[in-house]
């Protein structure tokens, strides 16, 4: 793992290593091994997350402060001014990971109970990389209106809501509606997280191939949550919508397509893209779309033969391909390179250039929580993507095989958090007005404390060492 | 005939309109394209209710019927053109309302605009144009038919001063 040298913008937030010394990249176990170990360890630890106090308890008398009668004064103060809940309680750092389990990564519709282990895992990443206290909350309600109501009902308890693994197109309705309704940030990782990291990868790929965001021709293959969100975010970042070409299972989207009215009623988000993208009014399949394209972002169905080499051969010189389907990309990277693609990214950690949501969601959430933002606007996600891309350039590690940082680059989290927080402050969304260096310092402190706590619990064996694998 | 000429001819007041479209009566060589739009409308209706699901031959039927109606004096068929391209169509029929007054009804039975050309004022302009034509032909009452579940149409007509008059209830046997 590389170390970032003295590039701390604020000059205040000291480099601390943040547990870096005790964190190693380690070896990624093979898939079958990972499955076996996950079952073994999950049973051994009986879950991955728990709640623990953050105040001292020296005697039982302390409960007269932390609980009744003392707590009544705090309650009354918060009742009078509800924003004080961000000061007097842990609301400022509590989020919930809300899902109905209708589209769990790589597993599909496995329902709320089956999704709980995944949500616990997400919560663990939040705690370790972003210092965020994230409560897993799979629910057995599937109607968008029910999920919207539920999110609104639990708003008083949380600083933000993270939506996860909800099927498309209902995820769009839920996110859009909640973004409008709630007074706290709402994030849908499968849309905004993927879109943000994809944008960061695109920004650096365009730099490497001497292209500009406003005149690159970009094909989005697949029109599910990830690519619809990517298209929307690319436009927010300055890509002219007309330069995008979106291809779904029936072919290129264009305003005259036969199924436009069906789309208008069943997926208005895709319908919008059909109206606004593809200024050349191309029609046909992905081969037509890819001809002469500078970049192709595939988030369609697992490969490896979903994209043909012949499709990629017709792209522009120095072509960029993100084949993001998991667990197997639409085409293997070596096959794509043989077909003339210059830069390839996938969703996998065992190839270069992993487009991984974990590079963004912990820091974006950290940033909005630290300024007590009321929302996560697209502008903040664009800033986060720009900052993530810039980090690689500043490190001097930008290359065709390294267009993004990795999760091991722990420095990205406070840096991106501060950029996000600053944007929310500038846009008037923050309850707390802080400067960028202050936000970075807070983010750094919160993340560091969280990591130290985990490491300290490990050292004291309150988190027990991994059990011996008898078969191993 | 350009929009301005149309205004003169039908003596109607057209409020702010986009100048990019030409609205006029359909010509023979536009029937095929207009029929495609009518077929799209019928399929759109099918999206709202399974009892409005279209038959395989909806395109052929649309063309056949439109060819029959184009020279029928009881029918008014207007098209909206963007350049030479037909992007909207509206068809209405004059009916005699036995028992009721006013007797003469101009009923809009088909109305479709290509998705790309919606959201401007083209829908309103087409409606205003056909309303004027129908009144000129003696209609004292203008009606419009669309599937009960089509909230978009309901909002459109309500906004332009229409209200629900009769209901058609259905039960498949």
**Strand B75-82 versus strand B85-96 pairing type:** antiparallel
Does some domain include residue B38?
Answer: yes
Angle formed at CA A324 by CA A101 and CA A205, multiple of 5 degrees: 140
* Chain A residues close to B58, C-beta within 8 Å: none
Question: Residue A349 in contact with residue A356, Cβ under 8 Å?
Answer: yes
* Prediction ipTM score: 0.86
Residues 201-260 of A with CB under 8 A from B: 255-256, 258, 260
Q: Note whether B47 contacts A271, CB cutoff 8 Å.
A: no
Q: Is A306 on the interface with B (CB under 8 A)?
A: no
**Nearest residue in B to A258, CA atom:** B40
Task: State which residues form the domain around B116.
Answer: 3-159
Distance of alpha carbon A226 from alpha carbon A344, whole angstroms: 18
Q: Note whether A255 contacts B47, CB cutoff 8 Å.
A: no
> Closest to B43 (Cβ–Cβ): which among A255, A256, A261?
A261
Query: Which residues lie closer than 8 Å to B47 by C-beta, 6 or more apart?
Result: A261, A262, A265
What average pLDDT does the structure give for chain B?
Answer: 90
Per-residue pLDDT of chain A (472 residues; tens, 9 = 90+): 334 443 444 433 333 344 343 456 666 677 778 899 999 999 999 999 999 999 999 999 999 999 999 999 999 999 999 999 999 999 999 999 999 999 998 788 999 999 999 999 999 999 999 999 999 999 999 899 999 999 999 999 999 999 999 998 999 999 999 999 999 999 999 999 999 999 999 999 999 999 999 999 999 999 999 999 999 999 999 999 999 999 999 999 999 999 999 999 999 999 999 999 999 999 999 999 999 999 999 999 998 999 999 999 999 999 999 999 988 999 999 999 999 999 999 999 999 999 999 999 999 999 999 999 999 999 999 999 999 999 999 999 999 999 999 999 999 999 999 999 999 999 999 999 999 999 999 999 999 999 999 999 999 999 999 987 555 4
Q: Note whether A275 contacts B115, CB cutoff 8 Å.
A: yes
Q: Is A274 on the interface with B (CB under 8 A)?
A: yes
Helices (H), A300-377: 309-313, 333-338, 361-370
Question: Residue A202 in contact with residue A237, Cβ under 8 Å?
Answer: no
pLDDT the model gives residue B10: 37
Does some domain include residue B33?
Answer: yes
- Exposure string over B32-69, b if 16+ CB within 10 A, otherwise e: ebbbbbbbbbbbbbbbbeeebebeeebbebbbeebeeb
**Nearest residue in A to B151, CA atom:** A265
User: How many Å lie between the alpha carbon of B171 and the closest alpha carbon of chain A?
Assistant: 24
Evaluate if residue B5 carries a pLDDT over 80.
no
Number of domains within chain B: 1
Query: How far, in whole angstroms, is CA A305 from its chain's centroid?
Result: 27
| Catalytic (active-site) positions of A | 67, 122
* Chain A residues close to B116, C-beta within 8 Å: 255-256, 275
Class assignment of domain A192-346?
alpha beta
Does some domain include residue B169?
Answer: no
Strand boundaries in B28-103, DSSP class E: 75-82, 85-96
Query: Which residues lie closer than 8 Å to B18 by C-beta, 6 or more apart?
Result: B120, B121, B122, B125
Does some domain include residue B56?
Answer: yes
- Exposure string over A239-267, b if 16+ CB within 10 A, otherwise e: bebebbbbbbeebbbbbebebbbebbbeb
Q: Is A11 on the interface with B (CB under 8 A)?
A: no
Q: Which residue has the tokens 């250039």?
A: A353
Distance of alpha carbon A415 from alpha carbon A342, whole angstroms: 29
pLDDT the model gives residue A27: 67
Bridge partner residues of B85 (DSSP)? B82
Q: Note whether B115 contacts A262, CB cutoff 8 Å.
A: no
pLDDT the model gives residue A34: 87
Distance of alpha carbon B14 from alpha carbon B8, whole angstroms: 10
Q: How far apart are the first and last CA of chain A?
A: 28
Does some domain include residue B88?
Answer: yes
Question: Do A78-184 and A192-346 show the same overall fold?
Answer: yes
pLDDT the model gives residue A133: 98
Class assignment of domain A78-184?
alpha beta
User: How many Å lie between the alpha carbon of B45 and the closest alpha carbon of chain A?
Assistant: 9
Name the residue among A279, A120, A325, A181 with its Cα closest to residue B116: A279
Q: Note whether A256 contacts B43, CB cutoff 8 Å.
A: no
Check which CATH number belongs to the domain holding B80 and give it: 3.40.630.30
Does some domain include residue B28?
Answer: yes
Name the residue among B10, B11, B22 with its Cα closest to residue B122: B22
* Chain B residues close to A255, C-beta within 8 Å: 114-116
Q: Note whether A265 contacts B116, CB cutoff 8 Å.
A: no
Name every residue in B having a CB less than 8 A away from some CB of A. Answer: 40, 43-44, 47-48, 114-116
Q: How many CB pairs under 8 A join A and B?
A: 22
Q: Note whether B114 contacts A255, CB cutoff 8 Å.
A: yes
pLDDT the model gives residue A105: 81
* Chain A residues close to B43, C-beta within 8 Å: 261-262
User: How many Å lie between the alpha carbon of B116 and the closest alpha carbon of chain A?
Assistant: 6
Q: Is A264 on the interface with B (CB under 8 A)?
A: yes
* Chain A residues close to B40, C-beta within 8 Å: 258, 261
């Amino acid at each position: 793992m590389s170390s970032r040298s003295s590039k701390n913008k604020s000059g205040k937030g000291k480099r601390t290593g943040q547990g870096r010394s005790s964190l190693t990249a380690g070896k990624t176990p093979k898939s079958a091994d990972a499955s076996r170990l996950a079952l073994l360890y999950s049973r051994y630890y009986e879950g991955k997350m728990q709640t623990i106090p953050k105040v001292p308890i020296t005697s039982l008398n302390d409960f007269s402060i932390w609980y009744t009668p003392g707590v009544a004064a705090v309650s009354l103060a918060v009742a009078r001014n509800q924003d004080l809940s961000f000061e007097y309680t842990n609301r400022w750092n509590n989020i919930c990971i809300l899902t109905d389990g209708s589209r769990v990564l790589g597993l599909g519709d496995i329902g709320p109970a089956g999704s709980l282990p995944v949500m616990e895992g997400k919560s663990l990443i939040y705690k370790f990389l972003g210092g965020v206290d994230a409560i897993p909350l799979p629910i057995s309600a599937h109607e968008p209106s029910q999920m919207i109501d539920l999110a609104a009902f639990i708003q008083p308890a949380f600083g933000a809501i993270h939506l996860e693994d909800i099927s498309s197109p209902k995820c769009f309705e839920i996110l859009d509606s909640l973004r409008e309704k709630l007074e706290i940030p709402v994030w849908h990782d499968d849309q905004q997280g993927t879109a943000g990291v994809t944008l960061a990868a695109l920004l650096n790929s365009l730099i490497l191939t001497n292209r500009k965001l406003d005149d690159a021709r970009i094909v989005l293959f697949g029109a599910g949550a990830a690519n619809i969100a990517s298209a929307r975010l690319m436009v927010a970042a300055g890509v002219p919508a007309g330069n995008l070409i979106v291809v779904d299972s029936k072919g290129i989207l264009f305003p005259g397509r036969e199924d436009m009215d069906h789309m208008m009623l069943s997926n208005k988000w895709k319908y919008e893209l059909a109206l606004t993208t593809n200024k050349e009014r191309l029609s046909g399949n992905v081969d037509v779309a890819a001809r002469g394209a500078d970049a192709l972002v595939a988030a369609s169905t697992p490969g490896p033969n979903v994209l043909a080499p012949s499709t990629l051969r017709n792209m522009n010189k120095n072509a960029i391909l993100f084949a993001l389907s998991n667990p197997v990309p639409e085409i293997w990277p070596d096959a794509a390179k043989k077909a003339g693609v210059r830069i390839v990214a996938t969703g996998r950690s065992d190839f270069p250039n992993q487009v991984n949501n974990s590079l963004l969601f912990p820091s974006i959430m950290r940033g909005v929580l630290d300024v007590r933002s009321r929302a996560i606007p697209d502008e903040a996600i664009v800033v986060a993507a720009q900052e993530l891309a810039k980090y690689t350039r500043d490190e001097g590690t930008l290359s065709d095989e390294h267009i993004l940082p990795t999760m091991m680059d722990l420095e990205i989290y406070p840096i991106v958090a501060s950029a996000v927080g600053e944007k929310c402050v500038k846009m008037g969304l923050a309850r707390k007005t802080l400067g960028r260096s202050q936000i970075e310092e807070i983010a750094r402190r919160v993340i560091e404390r969280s990591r130290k706590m985990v490491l300290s619990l490990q050292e004291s064996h309150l988190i027990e060492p991994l059990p011996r694998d008898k078969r191993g | 005939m350009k929009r301005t000429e149309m205004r003169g001819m039908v003596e109607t007041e057209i409020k702010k309109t986009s100048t990019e479209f030409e609205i006029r009566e359909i010509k023979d060589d536009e029937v095929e394209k207009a029929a495609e739009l009518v077929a799209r409308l019928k399929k759109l209706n099918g999206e709202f209710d399974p009892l409005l699901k279209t038959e395989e031959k909806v395109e052929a039927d649309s063309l056949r019927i439109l060819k029959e109606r184009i020279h029928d004096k009881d029918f008014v068929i207007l098209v909206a053109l963007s350049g030479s391209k037909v992007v909207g169509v509206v068809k209405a029929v004059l009916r005699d309302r036995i028992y009721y007054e006013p007797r003469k009804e101009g009923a809009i039975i088909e109305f479709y605009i290509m998705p790309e050309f919606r959201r401007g004022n083209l829908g309103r302009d087409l409606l205003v144009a056909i309303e004027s034509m129908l009144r000129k032909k003696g209609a004292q009452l203008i009606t419009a038919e669309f599937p009960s579940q089509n909230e978009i149409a309901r909002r459109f007509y309500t906004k332009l001063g229409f209200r629900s008059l009769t209901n058609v209830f259905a039960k498949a046997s």
